[in-house]
Structure 1
C-alpha cells in the first residue's frame, strides 16, 4: 500500500522537475546564456527536492514543521508560476502548456495524501484483529437473524395449530348445541302437547287422583349445594317422615307434586333417602 501512494507522487514530482527545468531553459535561454538558465532551473528543482526530502525525514520521525511545509509549497508555486508564465508568453501551443502547468501542485498534493496515509496506517496484526472483530460481528448478526426467523416460524406454527384446534372445538360445540337445541325442542313439543297431558293423566290418576300431573323440563343453571344441616340431621322414623311429607304436601292448595314436596323437604333441612321419601309419599297420597 505504501508503494501505491509513494510511487505516483515520486513520478509526478520527477516529471514536474524535468518539465520545470525544460521550460526555464526554453523561456530564459532566449534572454540570457543557457548556463544561467540551467542554474535557475536546477535551483528551483533543487530547492523543491531538498525541502521534500526534509519533510519526508521529519515524517519518518513522527514530526512536522510548518516552516518546511510552507517552503516546499512555495517552491511548488514558483514552478507552477514559471509554467503558467511560459504558457502565456508562448507564441504557439498556449493551451497545451497550460494543460501541464498544474503538475507541480498535483505532485505536492500527492505527497500530502501520502503523508496522511502514513499517519493513519495500521500494522498487519491490527488489521487482522479488526477483520476478526468485523467477522465476529457479522457472525453474531447472522446467528441472531437465524434465531429470530426460527422463533417466528415456531410461533407461526403454534398459532396455526391453536387456531385450528379452536376452530375444531368451535365446530364441535356448535354441532352439540344444535343437537341439544333439537332435542330440547322435541321435549318442549312433547310437554306442551295435549296428547302428552292425557297420557300423564291416565298414568298418574290412580296414584294421585287429586293432583293434576305437571311435567316440566329441567332448568339449566348453577347447582345449589345442600344445606350443611343435612349432613348432621338425625334420621326420621317412618311415622315422622309421613307426617312431614303430608304437611308439606298440603301446605298449599292444590296439593304439591312430589317434586315440589321433595324440594321443600330438603330445603327445610330434613334428611331422608330418595327411596324412603317416595315410600312416604305413596303412603300419604
Structure 2
C-alpha cells in the first residue's frame, strides 16, 4: 500500500524537476551562458529536493516543521511559476506548456497525501484484528436476525394453531347448542301437545288397570333446591300417614297437583320421606 502512494509522488517530482531544469536552461540560455542557467535550474530543483528530504526525515521521526513545509511549498510555487512564465513568453505551444505547469504543485500534493497515509497507516496485526472484530460483529448480527426470524415464525405458527383450535371448538359448541336446542324444542312440543297424555295412556292402559296415570315429561329450566331435613326434625312417617299427607297436598289445589309440585310442597313443609316411598305413596293415592 505504501508503494501505491509514494511511487506516483516520486514520479511526479522527477518529471517536475526535469521540466523545471529544461525550462530554466531554455528560458535563460539566450540571456546568460548556459552553465549559469543550468546552475539556476539545479538550484531550484536542489532546494526543492533538499526540503523534501528534510520533510521526509521529520515525518519518519514522527515530527513536523511548519517552516520546512512552507519552504518546500515555496520551491514548488517557484518551479510552477517558472513553467507558467515560460508558457506565457513562448511564441508557439503556450497551451501545452500551461498544461504541464501544474506538475510541481501536483507533486507537492502527492507528497502531502503520502504523509497523511503514513500518519494514519496501521500495522498488519492491527488490520487483522479490525477485520476480525468486524467479521465477529457481522456474524452476531446475522445470528440475531436469524433468531428473530425463527421466533417470529414460531409465534406465527402458534397463533395460527391456537386460532384454528378455537375456531373448531366454537364450531363444535355451536353445533352442540343447535342440536340441544332442537332436542328440547321437540321435547317441549311433545310435552305441551294435547294428544301426548292420551297416547301414552292408551299404551300403558293394559299395565295400569283401574287407573289413569299422569305423564309428565322433563321441563327445560332452572331447578329450585330443596332444603335438607334432619331425622330428628322430621321423624319417619308410616305408610298410612304418608298416603294421607300426599293425598292432602295433591288435592290442595284444583286441578290436582302434579307429582313434581306435590313433592316440592311436601319437602318444603318439613316432611321427610325417601323418594321411593314418596313415589309409591303417590302411586297408591293416584
Paired residues, number = 279
* Whole-Å separation in 2 of the counterparts to 1:157 and 1:130: 41
Q: For residues 10-56 of structure 1, what are the alpha-carbon distances to aligned partners after superposition, in whole Å with 9 as ceiling and x for unaligned?
A: 11111111111111111121222111111111111111111111111
* Whole-Å separation in 2 of the counterparts to 1:226 and 1:103: 117
* Whole-Å separation in 2 of the counterparts to 1:243 and 1:60: 131
Give the C-alpha shift of residue 132 in structure 1. 0.9
Instruction: Report the counterpart of residue 12 of structure 2 in structure 1.
Output: 12
Instruction: Report the counterpart of residue 238 of structure 1 in structure 2.
Output: 237
* Whole-Å separation in 2 of the counterparts to 1:96 and 1:225: 120
Gaps of 5+ in 1: none
* Whole-Å separation in 1 of the counterparts to 2:268 and 2:275: 14
Instruction: Report the counterpart of residue 73 of structure 2 in structure 1.
Output: 73
Instruction: Report the counterpart of residue 260 of structure 2 in structure 1.
Output: 259
* Whole-Å separation in 2 of the counterparts to 1:274 and 1:147: 68
Residue 62 of structure 1: SS of its match in structure 2? Answer: coil
Q: 1:11 to 1:270 in 2, by over 3 A?
A: farther
Q: 1:39 to 1:233 in 2, by over 3 A?
A: farther
Q: For residues 60-98 of structure 1, what are the alpha-carbon distances to aligned partners after superposition, in whole Å with 9 as ceiling and x for unaligned?
A: 111111111111111111111111111111111111111
Instruction: Report the counterpart of residue 82 of structure 2 in structure 1.
Output: 82
Deviates more, 1:171-180 or 1:21-30: 171-180
Instruction: Report the counterpart of residue 283 of structure 2 in structure 1.
Output: 282
Contact 2:201/2:212 (<8 A) preserved = no
Gaps of 5+ in 2: none
Instruction: Report the counterpart of residue 122 of structure 2 in structure 1.
Output: 122
Q: For residues 170-202 of structure 1, what are the alpha-carbon distances to aligned partners after superposition, in whole Å with 9 as ceiling and x for unaligned?
A: 332232223223222322222232211433676
* Whole-Å separation in 2 of the counterparts to 1:92 and 1:160: 86
Residue 256 of structure 1: SS of its match in structure 2? Answer: coil
Give the C-alpha shift of residue 152 in structure 1. 2.1
Report the aligned-residue RMSD.
2.8
* Whole-Å separation in 2 of the counterparts to 1:115 and 1:133: 27
